[in-house]
Chain A
């Protein structure tokens, strides 16, 4: 059974940094691209970033480009999202998902709140 477990969400001040993690199990992690998708309170889904299975290709939404960095450690079956220069509009539940575009499996999400 595929399992994705996010962690690292927290309350952070504007301009601050945070690193999210997503621990994967139940599938051969390095065979799959992975993504982060976020959902602001009461709003729809917004694709944030994706990374290839080997980690050599990365993709970002314009809204986070230059501030967020996606990475993975295939030896630890873990996906990361380093978030810098956080803004109030980054407040959301962040989901990790298996896949780069079509996402058949999702984690339960971790809440990031950016507020002073």
Chain B
């Protein structure tokens, strides 16, 4: 199985900040990497697929990059509605494991 790690596990930021979350795969997954956002009590929402493709309806302040084993999710200017937990997920093979999550909260 391909295992996923994320860093940091949590971060505190202010509205308007640039936020970067890192995800690493235990082996190369090319660009087969998704990012999801989850708010408390809600289902996850797909933000980015194939490492850098923005899902329809997702604001352009979200972007993804990386390939191989190292990936990044960037929020260019954090908005109040962005405070949530973010998960990466490898889409290279089954089982499509998720990372442990990064919680973004208000500083």
State the A residues within 8 Å of B (CB). Answer: 37, 44-47, 50, 59, 61-62, 95, 100-104, 106-109
On chain B, the number of residues with a Cβ less than 8 Å from chain A's Cβ atoms is: 21
Q: Tell me if A109 and B55 are in contact (CB < 8 A).
A: no
Contact partner of B95 (CB less than 8 A), chosen from A47, A102, A107, is A47
State the B residues within 8 Å of A (CB). Answer: 34, 36, 38, 42-46, 49, 55, 87, 89, 91, 94-101
Q: Tell me if A44 and B46 are in contact (CB < 8 A).
A: no
8 CB < 8 A contacts A-B:
A44-B98, A45-B44, A45-B89, A61-B95, A100-B96, A102-B49, A104-B46, A106-B44
Nearest CB on A from B26, distance (A): 16
> Which chain B positions have C-beta within 8 A of A104?
46, 49, 55
Given A102-B46, A102-B91, also A46-B55 (CB < 8 A): no
Number of A-B contacts (CB under 8 A): 46
Q: Tell me if B97 and A47 are in contact (CB < 8 A).
A: yes
Q: Tell me if A47 and B98 are in contact (CB < 8 A).
A: yes
